[in-house]
Amino acid sequence: MDTLTFVGTATTLLRLGAFTVLTDPNFLHRGQRAYLGKGLWSRRLTEPAMQPADLPPLDAVVLSHLHGDHFDRVARRELVRAQPVLTTTQAARRLRRWDFDARGLETWQSETITKPAPVAADGDETLTVEALPGIHARGAMGALLPPVMGSLLTHRAGGRVRRRVYVSGDTLTGDHLDEVARRHPEIDVAVVHLGGTRVLFHTVTMDDVQGVDFLRRVGPAKAVPVHFDDYGVFRSPLADFERRAREAGFGDRLQPVRRGETVAL
């Protein structure tokens, strides 16, 4: 059974067939500061459900961008280096200096991991990670923040698509999502980064209104909201998104998940 375990912030464990993937590793404890660059920081308000030592063996890490609430000093120090880290080209350059097997992807580029039949019970299994467009901020603020990517994880067994999971990354909504929907009209699950993050009076992640617009544009069969209450810069409560989603007719697509909880995909 394919599952998602919510660790906190945007950190999840995705189990897709024979593959186990970690997203956006953030293991700081409650009260510790995440550094966002350019002298900016935010204090963590919650406790993560896991630490690196608790993780199972990983096939890959998928990292939307290099910010302290998505890849922190604990991850840098304690994550094993055996698995590839699939991320933006800018983040990959920095991670390689830290001895990670980091592989940078430009928008629409992809990387495929294969497990042969003796390992995978249903025949050869593949997991393809494709970089999707993301916009962390617009205008002058956009130049201050690192590039960000969404990720489409496509799991195949015996050549047949079993599951498509879209991890939004820290993006705002907009026309770039229409192109995602055009290229990938059959998304099974979207892991949606919310929070309405406010930095220097700019919104840099989707709030409740933008989150519902994301659902309307992308049309996933199921949506799992994450990244909504872990830091003081998150200003849009999850309850607001859930209410708006229900009012817009998306209530039956929502799959809420608590920190430490595992849900079926």
- Boundaries of every domain in the chain: 3-249
**Alpha-carbon span 259 to 237, nearest angstrom:** 15
Nearest to 133 by CA among 91, 163, 175: 175
Q: What is the pLDDT of residue 40?
A: 77
pTM of the predicted structure, to 2 decimals: 0.96
Taking only the tens of pLDDT, the chain with its 265 residues reads 999 999 999 999 999 999 999 999 999 999 999 987 666 789 999 999 999 999 999 999 999 999 999 999 999 999 999 999 999 999 999 999 999 999 999 999 999 999 986 665 667 899 999 999 999 988 766 667 889 999 999 999 999 999 999 999 999 999 999 999 999 999 999 999 999 988 878 889 999 999 999 999 999 999 999 999 999 999 999 999 999 999 999 999 999 999 999 999 9
Q: Domain 3-249 - what CATH class? A: alpha beta
